Structure 1
Amino acid sequence: MTSNANTFVGAPAIAGMLYSAPADTADPTDATTPLPAIWAQLGAITADGIVRSGEPAVEAIKDAGNRTIRNIVTDHPMSYGLTFAEALNVDVLKELRGEGNVTVSADGKTITVGHVEGFISPARKYVIELEDFPNKKREIIKLAQAQSTGDVTYSAAAPGVVYEAVLNVLKPTDGTNVRVTEITEIDALVAA
């Protein structure tokens, strides 16, 4: 029997949708415990949300009669596409341009961003937080690199200044092949 209780709408959590931390940060173990302060909240994401993509590249092994006798996975890229809506969020700027390339004045009123040729962001850990009352979900990306993509348009027209980005998921260093973990807690928000 079908039930609408088994559906989930990926609405961002009120406190934020995407967080990042150094690669060696411990994984969250549930969907409700607040993330420790080491996790940077990366501000609002535009209405298109976060899109997970990834399809294995499969190569067929064929016999002399050109019949497929086995398929092997030769690669399995995975990535998350998104657009950061907060162009003045220092944590977003550091994520895309590098912590050492973003400085904030002592009074917090001036942000300086260096665009360094050939910069590749360090591998970090990410968490996506979603709520669909009364359920809560965390998707933990064990290791990924953020990459700024797309053009930046300076205009007064919508959507304003935004940063398109992709999180390229990497093989984890913990000895497993688990690159992403999803934790969903049913009725988690009822008691909150």
Structure 2
Amino acid sequence: MALPEIMIGAPLTAGGAFAVAPVGTALPTDATSDLNPAFKTLGLIGEDGFTLTQNRSTNDIKVWGGATKRRLTNEFSETVGATFMESAAAETLKAIFGEDNVQVAGKKISIAHTSDGSAEQSYVITMKDGDARRRLVIPRGQLFLTSQIQYVHSDAIKYDVEITCYEDEDGRTSLEYVDDTAA
């Protein structure tokens, strides 16, 4: 009898599961290959991991008598939500506030808070379950802060973010790859 094929979504590495690169960077086409060196990791993610949310509005086509014969998609969107934990990591701050708004000089960082925000980029999230791997690839996405930033002595400074996934040239908002060959 085969075991259930249930996977968990643990990060591949504690500080390297989320990666970002400019749009147009060669994207992975599987769950295990090395990422293009242009991808930069975004550090630690909060203990709740991340969420992938699909929003869809539909319109039912009904026939005489009220039976539904077809459902059409009117709108579709996809977002990824996470909490970034590394508030002193330059690459994380650049992803949140925008490349041009973060200046780094050695160990000193300055962040300009502007309405510009972050540019459209490519994102890759790599997960593991034992030897099995899972990868979510977002060819075109834009990251936004979704809540206030709290500065307090009793907790880490963290950033709740949402990545809006835009369609690529093939109409895909994201791609997901699973490799369970080691199991």
- TM-score greater than 0.5 by the shorter chain: yes
Displacement of 1:139 after TM fit? 1.2
Residues 12 and 69 (structure 1), Cα distance of their counterparts in 2 relative to 1, 3 Å cut: same
* 1:183 alignment counterpart: 177
Provide the rounded CA distance (Å) in 1 between the counterparts of 2:70 and 2:32: 43
Provide the rounded CA distance (Å) in 2 between the counterparts of 1:31 and 1:143: 18
Q: Contact 2:84–2:161 at 8 Å: present in 1 too? A: yes
Q: Contact 1:123–1:143 at 8 Å: present in 2 too? A: yes
Displacement of 1:71 after TM fit? 2.1
- Structure having the higher strand fraction is 2
Percent sequence identity over aligned pairs? 29
Provide the rounded CA distance (Å) in 2 between the counterparts of 1:65 and 1:187: 50
Corresponding position: 1:25 with 2:22: no
Provide the rounded CA distance (Å) in 1 between the counterparts of 2:134 and 2:67: 43
* 1:58 alignment counterpart: 58
* 2:165 alignment counterpart: 169
* 1:131 alignment counterpart: 128
The aligned length equals 182
Provide the rounded CA distance (Å) in 2 between the counterparts of 1:177 and 1:11: 28
Unaligned runs of 5+ in 2: none
Question: Aligned to 1:49, what secondary structure does the other structure show?
Answer: strand
Q: Contact 1:133–1:187 at 8 Å: present in 2 too? A: no
Provide the rounded CA distance (Å) in 2 between the counterparts of 1:129 and 1:156: 32
Provide the rounded CA distance (Å) in 2 between the counterparts of 1:66 and 1:103: 61
Q: Choose 178-187 or 121-130, whichever is displaced more.
A: 178-187
TM-score scaled by length of structure 1: 0.87
CA RMSD of aligned residues (A): 1.9
Displacement of 1:63 after TM fit? 5.1
